[in-house]
Amino acid sequence: MRRLNGMDASFVYGETPSWHMHGGTLFVLDPSTAPGGFDVHRLRALVAARAGLLGPFLARLVEVPFGLDRPAWVNDPHLDLERHIHSIGVPQPGGPRELSALVGDLFAFKLERGRPLWEIWFIEGLEDGRVGLLLKVHHSLVDGVRATRLYEVLFDLDPDAPLARPGTPEIADERIPSEWEMALRSLPRLAATPLRAARTAGHLGRSAWRMVRFLGSREWPAATFPFQAPRTSLNQAITAHRGFAFCSLPLSDVKTIKNAFSVTVNDVVLGICTGALRHYLADRGELPGKPLIAQIPIAVHVDAGGDPTGGAWGNAVAVMGATLPTQLDDPAERLRVIHASTRSAKAMHQALGDDFILDLADVVAPGILAAGVRAYSRLGLTEHHPPIFNLILSNVQGPPFPLYLAGAKLLANYVMGPLLDGGGLNITVISYRDHVDFGFVVCPEIVKDPWLLANATLSAFDELRNAVTRIPSSTRGASRTTA
């Protein structure tokens, strides 16, 4: 049995009928490279052969009565792959819009709490004979960085790799404890709450002192804080429905832009998204006169503490805010503002410390958190204060080499993040081989057509690439691609 940390528990108890705390990835595969073919049965056979390597994906959630303490993960003794891996056909002709509409509908359904919190949809009927896999994973199980470790289990470097891997351990069954047993086990932690609160207060004091020093730094003028975001049509109470769109850009051109402006790849991704949002809002006649604010999850370092899985469980993330200057017309100037903002955000994060949010999440009882989230949603409070942020925007580095799943070649992967109330858009970006894949998750009552954002992303990319031509001796890039 493994107890969830405070942040993991917050993703469990912060879930409501409209706030779904699962993420996902749409994998697009070429089955023609698979020896002997590739179908849902071969996929199940692969997962069954490597089940002992799945680690967190073998565990189900066991909760404490009344939310008195954090729940725990216990290995499920009856892992039923028929209930976790499903098959479905995409409506014809199986193009990007048909695929994205189906994926959005599938992504809208919450995961069942009574079994390990993940599922895969095997999607057949895509154009050009391709196959799609939609993986859904609850955020309490792994964060975005740890979720990419699943690549190491499911994917291989060789299309001829056998399904079974040497040294795969047997699944260790565990007895599922009763509710009252979980309640009794929580008593020592409840008694230690004042000690945890005192420790957190000490950490907050040290963070406050470092923040005072940050006030005098050169990064302070570009600092971004919550509740600075302008209210746009993106910032409304969300529903349970989800929409999805995607696009891809050449990584070589992204790096050319990065080098030309002496910024980071992450800055270029933010610059492209800023341009896309500017197009989208301007077309709707609602471009604000101040910058948008993006909430950006970032991975933090935690000690695995002898964890045999290498820290593959749970969440170790913090968040930073970044300015997206959609009010600026010049794409090069937007990129310079973004670079200053992200540099300031990193300095602020260093001042606060990696453990700032993790400590706060460790003090609040899950039941109290759940009650607070339900009250916030029921009272519609998101409409009565300035937006905390305008959207969630994530960028993850993926593998630079080709991967194969049961022999089928991975062509692209589009990551899907959760939405939070008051923010109807999540953009998650991941690199793979020579391209960068953008996934757009929306609430369709807020963003009716997410493909407007995907198409605007291509236009914004062209703007930045053209801006490079105004810099002497810069390299001019290659053509863009779409999925």
Annotated catalytic residues are 139
The C-alpha angle 35, 36, 37, rounded to 5 degrees, equals: 95
* CA gap 6, 361 in Å, rounded: 5
Long-range interactions of 94-100: CB distance < 8 A, separation 24+? 94/125, 94/126, 94/127, 95/127, 96/245, 96/246, 96/482, 96/483, 97/451, 99/26, 99/123, 99/126, 99/132, 100/243, 100/244, 100/245, 100/246, 100/450, 100/451
Q: Which residue is it, tokens 């089955």? A: 31
Per the CB < 8 A criterion, the answer to whether 232 and 379 are in contact is: no
* CA gap 469, 464 in Å, rounded: 9
Q: Classify the C-alpha dihedral 462-415-132-31 as positive or negative.
A: positive
Burial group, residue 114, by CB count within 10 angstroms (0-12, 13-18, 19+): exposed
The C-alpha angle 248, 251, 257, rounded to 5 degrees, equals: 115
> Residues with Cβ < 8 Å from 77, sequence gap 6 or more?
173, 174, 176
User: What amino acid is encoded at 91 in this protein?
Assistant: P
Per the CB < 8 A criterion, the answer to whether 327 and 287 are in contact is: yes
Give the pairing type, strands 22-30 and 2-3: unpaired
Dihedrals phi, psi of 481, to nearest 5 degrees = -135, 155
